[in-house]
Amino acid sequence: MRVNLTTFEQLHQPVYVLEESKLRRNLELISRIAKDADVEIILAFKAFALWKTFPIFREYINTVTASSLNEARLGYEEFGHLVHTYSPAYTDYEIDDIAKMSTHLTFNSLSQMDKYAARIKKINPTVSLGIRVNPEYSEVKNVLYNPCALGTRFGVRADKLPEQLPNDIEGFHCHCHCENGADVFQRTLAHFEEKFAKWFTQLKWINFGGGHLMTHADYDVELLVKILRDFHKRHPSLHIILEPGSAFLWETGPLVSQVVDITEDKGIRNAILNVSFTCHMPDCLEGPYWPDVRNAQTIESRDGAFAMNAELRHVYRLGGCSCLAGDFMGYWNFDHELQLGENVIFEDMIHYTTVKTNMFNGVSHPSIALAHPNGELEFLRQYSYEDYKFRMD
């Protein structure tokens, strides 16, 4: 379904809106970085997998990265290309199909490599195998997102690798960032080379994973290009791969919701919305990742501290529509008194959010739409009772 809109205020139902012009802006920058740095940059499905937009992505990138059989199949069937695959653990009942759909396949452990390498090569002799390594260094402060935290289940430390890698291993995969800048990558790379450079002559490629937030306004793109070009000079035989997720979709569109009720308890006003944080914005509770809210300012820090003062007149706690008691996100001061039916717009809600949603409590799922540059809004997906019902069929 397609409609013409001049503003999001004309929407009267919950919708994730991906703005094509902003998506292309990001894709053009990422494409330029890949060319200038002579690296391959691919889309990680864990952050975005809206397959009806793949024709746009194919104008700028050649393939994608998957972390499961379903993602591998989506890349193969809908993106139209064999994929790069990494999973923390492969299974006997899925590995054969994953192998058929992969150009690159990375193991998380030496035991998984020992178990599956020969089997995979028999099924797909051309697949290039790799091993994920742990640099034991990460500047990610939130343990929930830190792959190098104490006791991590991700990757192999340098002291556990054999001096001579198995013949089938052609690449290393290192992922230890989360929406970080080029300066963090520069410091991480120093640790990575110190620990793993002695194996580089045995490799064909290195995948430096995701978390490189290269489309953020403050990201030092030129520093990233310099880092990668300098790495090429030191190790000219290695093909370099990056697989960001958020960077592709950073600031490409909002989640538009509506106020359905306003309640009050002991001086706290709750603006209850027709969306749910636990269902439709889980990172807001897990991370927490707090998006900006249009026409509002937060008065609460993420550690619970308040910045209340007498001048704040339109303060609401934003509440979701599920039965979870904690289905709310902070306190916000709006520039006006909220009215029933008006829009509350959460900015920058396309990356990760759209792939992590669920149907807990049977809460109605927001539609997904693509805003074209000509002002036309194309509804790519509208959800129904059958979507909820058949999840448990």
241 in the same domain as 266: no
> CA torsion 129→130→131→137, rounded to 10°?
-170
Work out whether strand 102-107 and strand 128-132 pair parallel, antiparallel, or are unpaired.
Answer: parallel
CA distance 131 to 177: 18
309 in the same domain as 236: no
Q: Length of the chain, please?
A: 393
Mean pLDDT of the region 364-381: 95
CA distance 66 to 59: 19
pLDDT confidence of residue 181: 96
pLDDT confidence of residue 313: 83
Cis peptide leading into 288, omega within 30 of 0? yes
Query: 329-364, pLDDT tens digit by residue?
Result: 989 999 999 999 999 999 999 999 999 999 999 999
> What residue numbers does the annotated binding site cover?
283
pLDDT confidence of residue 13: 93
| Amino acid residing at 367 | S
**Do 110 and 160 touch, CB atoms closer than 8 A?**
yes
CA distance 351 to 3: 24
Per-residue pLDDT band at 279 (split at 50, 70, 90): very high
As for how many domains the chain has, the answer is 2
pLDDT confidence of residue 341: 96
For 93, counting Cβ atoms within 10 Å of its Cβ (0-12 exposed, 13-18 middle, 19+ buried), the class is exposed
CA distance 44 to 355: 11
CA distance 55 to 27: 12
pLDDT confidence of residue 129: 98
298 vs 109, which has greater pLDDT? 109
> What residue numbers does the annotated binding site for substrate cover?
283
Last residue of a domain, one of 201, 229, 248: 248
240 pLDDT above the threshold of 90: yes
Query: 153-212, pLDDT tens digit by residue?
Result: 999 999 999 999 999 999 999 999 999 999 999 999 999 999 999 999 999 999 999 999
CA 384 to chain centre: 26
Q: What is the b/e burial string over 183-215, where b = at least 16 CB atoms within 10 angstroms of the residue's CB?
A: ebbeebbebbeebbeebeeebebbbbbbbbbbb
| 58 lies in some domain | yes
Q: Which CATH number fits the domain that encloses residue 33? A: 3.20.20.10
Q: What is the mean pLDDT of the chain?
A: 94
376 in the same domain as 305: yes
Query: 210-232, pLDDT tens digit by residue?
Result: 999 999 999 999 999 999 999 99
**Do 271 and 319 touch, CB atoms closer than 8 A?**
yes
259 in the same domain as 236: no
Q: Which CATH number fits the domain that encloses residue 373? A: 2.40.37.10
Per-residue pLDDT band at 6 (split at 50, 70, 90): low
The domain of 154 spans 20-248
pLDDT confidence of residue 220: 98
